[in-house]
Chains A and B, each alone.
Chain A
Amino acid sequence: MRKKRYFTLEKRLSIPFGIKLAVPLVSIVAGFLFSAFFLVISGESPLEVYSVMLDGAFGSAYGLSETVVKMIPLMIISVGVAFAFKMQIWNAGGEGQLHIGAAAATYVVLHLNGCSRFVTILAAFLAAFICAGIYGLIPAILKVKWKVNELITCLMLNYVATFLIAWLIQGPWKDPSGFAFPRTRKFPASGELTTLFDTRIHTGLLIGLAIAVILWFVISKTRWGYEIKLIGAKEKVARYAGVSVNRNILLVMFISAGIAGVAGMVEVCGITHRLQANFAAQIGSSGMTIAYLAQCHPLGAVLVSFLFGGLLVGGNTIQKLGLPVSTVQMIQGSILIFVAAGAMFTNYKIVRKERRLGHD
């Protein structure tokens, strides 16, 4: 009887903490090695490129502060969508919800002249959260009432929101003294988030960290969090245990979308100080990637957002080295692919098996 050896993937019964940490790190290194191959082909020294990249993102106070600046909206939106992902509700509408939140905040700030900064920011926060939350209820209601797939409606609503904002800033909300630029008036000082440590870092960082900690607490400690985890683990069992799945879909989508809206609010109040075209390019899709990589853990999302911010800032630095944008994107892309694909090894391990071949 012949034997055939082969390798197969087997699900891990439990995931050691070391694996959780080692897998993404090894994946990042593998991504850099993979890109190094292409850098060598195009005549660059990978070592030099990487050291400039690393130095640009984390090596100086300025670089570090810029990394944090990029991290803030990513962190907030990823924590938001991760909350819905935790329940297996695929909120792919972060991008649209972020735009609605930014628009709501802009409206409030531009119409609350004369209020204190605290009141203005609080009002902008609430407006962004509630408007984006309601926007997120649209796919949730469609799902609960008619079982419409939320992934599709969310993606479609992204277009609706971004084009709505494009219309606003080129039409009714356009700054009359802004020449041809599609953007609103500049915010009054009371509508700007306070900056920290003399950098571009703003208090949005604290808002985001607070949201992440609160959601971590909700998920891991509270009764409601228990229900959310149970629904995420298996909806049928949750129904059997007497958990109202539909109510939770509505509630969680509202909050998830609301938080994504806050990401838009901190970006306009903290960085651009007005609503303008492309103020949040790619944040929505990156938010989903981060949530996935962080395995929907709110504090994990904070960490991954920081690395993501570093990747963006580091990418900008090597562009100054004279590398084409496409090379920069290639490095960013391959790191992402390796990290995303490598995540499989967190849940699975490779085992070697033997199969006996019967008759031949």
Chain B
Amino acid sequence: MIQVSGLTKYFGPQKIFGDITWQIDRFQRSALVGHNGAGKSTILKIIAGKLEPDGGSVIIPKTMTVGYLPQEITSLDTQPALDLVLSGRQNLLDLEAEIERLQTQVQAHPNDALIAALGEKQHAFETAGGYRLRAEAQSIMASLGFSNDDFGKLTTEFSGGWQMRILLARLLLAKPDLLLLDEPTNHLDIESLAWLESFLGSYPGVLLIVSHDRAFLNHVIDGVAALDDNGLLMFPGNYDHYLEMREALEEQLEKNAEMQRQAIAEKQAFIERFRYKATKAKQVQSRIKQLEKMESVQLLQNRKKIHFHFPTPERVPQILLELRHVSKAYGDNVVYKDLDFRIYRGDKMALVAPNGAGKSTLIKILADVIPFEGERLLSDRVKFVYFAQHQIDALDFKKTLLEEAGDGLPNTITMTMLRSALGAFLFTNEDIDKPVSVLSGGEKNKLALAKLLLRAPNLLLLDEPTNHLDLDSREALEQALIDYPGTIVVISHDRWFIDKVCNKIATIDHGVIDIFDGTYSEHEAFVAAQNAQTESTAVDIETQNGKKKKRIEAAQQREAVKKATKHLADRVKKLEAQSADLEKKIAEMDDELSLPETYKNSARIKELTMAKSTAQKELDDVMENWMMAQEELDEAMKAFE
């Protein structure tokens, strides 16, 4: 059990948090949540012993091992990646060296004492999993996305994100009793993330995680510690459950506060009224004391919920952007060959693939920011904005937040709209006069996004827009994009975000794009069902490859069918909606006609009968058109079978 008591920390004169008390039990898996700057990372650092608190203490049992993954790394020792990962079990490496030394000694001078010592060491090594150590390390690294060639590469040859993965692999191999993870999901692609989730799901120790990935938290944790100005509040269950409980608690506290306000007012009124009446003196004194003793109800810090309405973009043709026979290669690495791709009006499409599959390349081709072979056709009136992964570099750091946000915007955007947009991204009134240079990474990201969205584009090309955003800001962005009436193509590793925002999932596999019509969870269910089908029959690798090829071909075929029949399917849908509307209208008129009041009004009866017959005629036309459209669609589909 870990005991945190009275923890207080100041940065300069500013109090980050005070009097934090927390008891972390064995096998607990908690998320530490709170707004940006609440001190989540600082608490993790203090528990990990990397930072001294200004007050209070952390008591960790001596036998307990602690592992900590920081949010950012400063530098890594230059050594092969695998060696650094293995150093997570330094005790086993030492034992292995000791065994080697004893083996050499036994070989040179065999005697009973040495042989017995060797036996003991070998036994301890085997029991602790020493013989499986390298295989385990390689398996963890492979699951985090490293290839076989990467194992021997020097740590300095990797980028920052990959260096973080090396550190994460080392921690996971070490399996400390207390595992502290600060934003472990940053820089992980969806496959690695899913693996990490399942790994942590069966983790045998205590987990304490700071993360802004809601889906990840929901899978891994069984409790939430929410940090705000009032201290630390504990909630059992996953993150979704926490949100529900918090909302209920907020309501309850507000009610209590209201009741308390009323009670105080009543008592004060009594005191005022009878203050100078001798016969009531005792009761007045009693109420004064009651007021003095009364503890005011502490409300939770308000989680802001502001809805931002985008300026309505201009209506565009059905196909916004089309790629024809596009090829792109980086040296020998061919990413796309003869690719055809279309973005339709109303698409909210997520590009999903492992790192390096060509997601960013595709979005850059769509945004026309990199050279490529082939045709890119942008329809008339399409105004797109491209949010790059490093969009914040484009900000002017000398300006204030409000000046920068308003820079270069069309005249139609009023100051109120600008302030409301910034508010929707959770910038406060005090924030907007801050210079851009003092904003945190997450805040700069939000500013860059708000700026782009205000230009009333009808196509958004977003590359990792949720990076560095805290959970509240993610929700704000999520809501903004759900409400957005235009078309979106987005790359994100946040599955929750994709699931909420997108209605199409484009998976990229070896330059082939497979588009799934539906949300991310529907896509997941579809893939799982497909995999189950594949697994049920034992097939050798060759057949597997054949199947994969067939799947790709089937996906291409599906895509072709979809492309060719989309206009028909849309027409059928539109006619169905029209007929439903008309049927509803007719039913309403029937209802009105059956009312006794209507019978008294002959003019109304006439009017209704006329309207009904017109509507009925219209419905018949619509139905006929619908049947024709449906037949056309069926025929078109048949042609592809």
- Chain A partners chain B: no
Q: Give the B-binding residues of A (Cβ under 8 A).
A: none
Q: Give the A-binding residues of B (Cβ under 8 A).
A: none
